[in-house]
Amino acid sequence: MAEKTRCEICDRTFKDAEGLAAHNRAKHSENIPKEKNPFTNKKIRGWSILIVILGLLVWGIFALISNTGGGLPPTDIEGHIEAIPSSHILKKPMRVAIQKHMLEHVDGIEGGRGGVVINYNCEDYSCGENLIENLESFAEKYNYVYVAPFKNMGVKIVLTKLGRIEILGEYDENRIERFVKI
């Protein structure tokens, strides 16, 4: 038979320790030591903020790296986003994901013709005074050609369309014309 236990506060006797524990929880809860919760709201909030900040930092680094390439512009549409550039002639680099979308179809018109993107790098290469103006004038002749700088590109001028790429060391309107029309 189980040993009887007694509540020292109210001097009641119970048939077992379980009964005493239930009594103490119901009648004398202020005397029961509380378990310490290692996950307080303050700790949870602090860790959540840290995780969000680290996530944003990683995302920012990834976005920066994926947009500045360091190599050549894309010729595929994998990873494109459904967005269009503000113009066909850009003074700032076009995001790689948007370039991919323009290769798929000009101005995002579903089922429309694929675009041609002419990228240039005048930060690392000497472009002369007329290169950018010549590329921009050329692009104005076609409603499916885009011109934009491309930071850290390994060459001076690159022409891209879906599945094709051509690298130029200098402005050559005839070569650009052939590439654009094929």
Contact 164, 108 (CB under 8 A): no
pTM score: 0.62
CA distance 176 to 119: 12
CA distance 10 to 23: 10
CA distance 127 to 74: 22
Contact 149, 143 (CB under 8 A): no
Q: What is the pLDDT of residue 43?
A: 84
Q: What is the pLDDT of residue 1?
A: 47
Q: What is the pLDDT of residue 64?
A: 62
User: Residue 3 is encoded by which pair of tokens?
Assistant: 């040993």
Low-confidence ranges of the chain (pLDDT < 70): 1-3, 33-36, 38, 63-70, 108
CA distance 146 to 90: 8
| Cα 67 versus chain centre, distance | 10
CA distance 7 to 136: 92
